[in-house]
Amino acid sequence: MKTFDFHVAQDTVDAIRTVAATGGKYLAGGTNLIDLMKGGVEQPPTLVDVRRLGLNSITTTPTGGVLVGAGVTNSALANHRIIRARYPVLSQAILSGATTQLRNMATAGGNLLQRTRCPYFMQTAFSECNKRIPGSGCAARGGFNREHAIFGASDECVAIHPSDMAVALSILDAVVHVQGRTEARTVPLSEFFTLPGRTPDRDNVLQPGELITGIGLPPSEFADNSWYLKVRDRHSYAFALVSVAAGLHIENGIITAAALALGGVAAMPWRLHEAEASLIGRRPDGEAFGTAARVAMAGAKPLAQNEFKVDLGRNSVVRALSLAAIDRTEEDNQS
């Protein structure tokens, strides 16, 4: 690991000023960043500790939503009574990832900023990785690509974003609160991540020095009917081959609102607006879910080793919607 300076930020202004001046990185849980530093993928000259900035609260907003501080740990977020009651799909997604020990350290803000686990990016022995070394090529295109993108990829990069939490946040229409040197701004999660295009080294729209301070959740109509389904090679401590966040609002046996997003298939949570639209006005049954699944996977462009993700995605969408449609309020009353 390359030698670096360590600075404990006294406040947000101090943190942002130091990172902007040094080209450093923010350190919160460090569960991804430290691994990247150990492997030589990241070599920041300075680490700025932001764990003492007071960004670790979960509060309700006047509009009935919730503001999650960027420093809230994944465990605290997943197990918070308001999150479990109003946004159960988010709790499910977080608890499906990593291990208890990692969730106890990892933070909400850091979860959004974690980088791809593509082996050509993670291991510096590979010289071709446009995300790590712009202009060097993409070894995954002609190499191991079983776990890679089937949507939104480019000739320059086929890596995926590994977050489970972000997929759930996508169907909740979350917004990211960001503080820069001169102003604060909010960015809809749908606009936060970037597809690789010709600049695969850039994962999101953050400007140099900007700090995520929180994640806003508007009121959700999917508390009673939602599900997060994660399909992976082994039951624990594995990233998704395909995941699905599904939310439904059902009135008098008819779907009146729907939200769907895929994980494990693109460099960002892949929202399925056309599939959502296909569900509106339908009964929550296998026919409607099968139609939505076919629409969801239209346009997929699999690589040599991951064509299985297309069928897996279709089946996973049907399964997630079927589980989301179960009336758990009735189950809870009977238990």
pLDDT of residue 152: 98
Angle between helices 308-324 and 286-297 (to 10 degrees): 140
- Measured CA to CA, the distance from residue 50 to residue 315 in angstroms comes to 42
pLDDT of residue 235: 84
Distant-in-sequence, close-in-space partners of 9: CB < 8 Å, separation ≥ 6: 15, 18, 48, 49, 50, 52, 53
Strand bridging mode 66-69 / 175-179: unpaired
Stretches where the chain sits below pLDDT 70 are 328-335
- Measured CA to CA, the distance from residue 173 to residue 193 in angstroms comes to 14
pLDDT of residue 11: 97
Distant-in-sequence, close-in-space partners of 311: CB < 8 Å, separation ≥ 6: none
- Given a contact cutoff of 8 angstroms between Cβ atoms, the answer to whether 249 and 227 are in contact is no
pLDDT of residue 335: 42
- What's the topology of domain 1-52? 3.30.43
- Mean pLDDT, all residues of the chain: 96
Strand bridging mode 46-49 / 66-69: unpaired
Question: Of 13, 15, 19, 29, nearest to 71 (Cα)?
Answer: 29
Q: Which two tokens stand for residue 60?
A: 């309700």
Whether the model clears a pTM of 0.75, i.e. scores above it, the answer is: yes
pLDDT of residue 332: 53
Question: Of 327, 163, 312, nearest to 248 (Cα)?
Answer: 327
pLDDT of residue 327: 82
Residues 33-87: tens digit of each pLDDT: 999 999 999 999 999 999 999 999 999 999 999 999 999 999 999 999 999 999 9
pLDDT of residue 159: 98
Please state which CATH class domain 226-327 belongs to.
alpha beta
Q: Where are the domains of the chain?
A: 1-52, 226-327
